[in-house]
Amino acid sequence: MSDPQLPEPEPLRALIDALRRLPGVGERTARRMAYHLLQHDLAGASQLGVALERASKMLLHCESCNSFSETALCQICASSRRDPSLLCIVETPADQNMVESSHGYRGLYYVLMGRLAPIEGVGPNELQFERLIKRVSDEHVREVILATNFTAEGETTAHYLAEILRNRDIKVTRLARGVPAGSELEYVDASTIAWALQERRDT
């Protein structure tokens, strides 16, 4: 019979529980991370704590694209070099970064900060679709590119958005199928995203 697990000090338990909130991190991985930081990298642990607190207090959502920013308008939205007639809708800031890294897009963005997932209780209200519609209604927008992920939830989100945008005087396109089905933009190489943007299709 194995020995019962030793009780963990409350600060250690709290750290493990906090690390478990990260995507893909379970109990064992969180414990391993916590032990590593406390045993071998106290300076790193302090740096991580300071950076998290600073980010949570100083970052806000861009008034235009909804991505993270230190100012009311992020650098991309404030740039005069971007094409305001193109609006690319992505699920997360990580997806936005991947589209940017393709160097094949010079328009603006709107970041949903999620995707429709009814089973998880995430619907149009939770994603503030009214704010998105207001953004799309800007007189400069001529084409909306649906760049949600090619997962079941991403496809559902793209289909829903295409339906509500269809009756507006705006061209609505979707990334080409060069992006593999079931994949997320965050993990797709930049050249594939660039091709998918170039070969985007009408919805």
* Domains of the chain with CATH codes: 10-58 (1.10.8.420), 61-202 (3.40.1360.10)
Residue that is written with structure tokens 């909130």 in the block: 21
Please give the backbone phi and psi of residue 62, each rounded to the nearest 5 degrees, phi first: -55, 135
Can you tell me which residue has the tokens 């953004």?
135
The predicted-structure confidence for 132-150, as pLDDT tens digits, reads as follows: 999 999 889 999 999 998 8
Sorting pLDDT into bands at 50, 70 and 90, what band is 182?
low
Kindly report, residue by residue over 23-82, the tens digit of the pLDDT.
999 999 999 999 999 999 999 999 999 999 999 999 999 999 999 999 999 999 999 999
- SS3 for 43-106 is HHHHHHHHHHHHHHHHCEECCCCCCEECCCCCHHHHCCCCEEEEEEEECCHHHHHHHHHCCCCC
Q: Give the global pTM.
A: 0.81
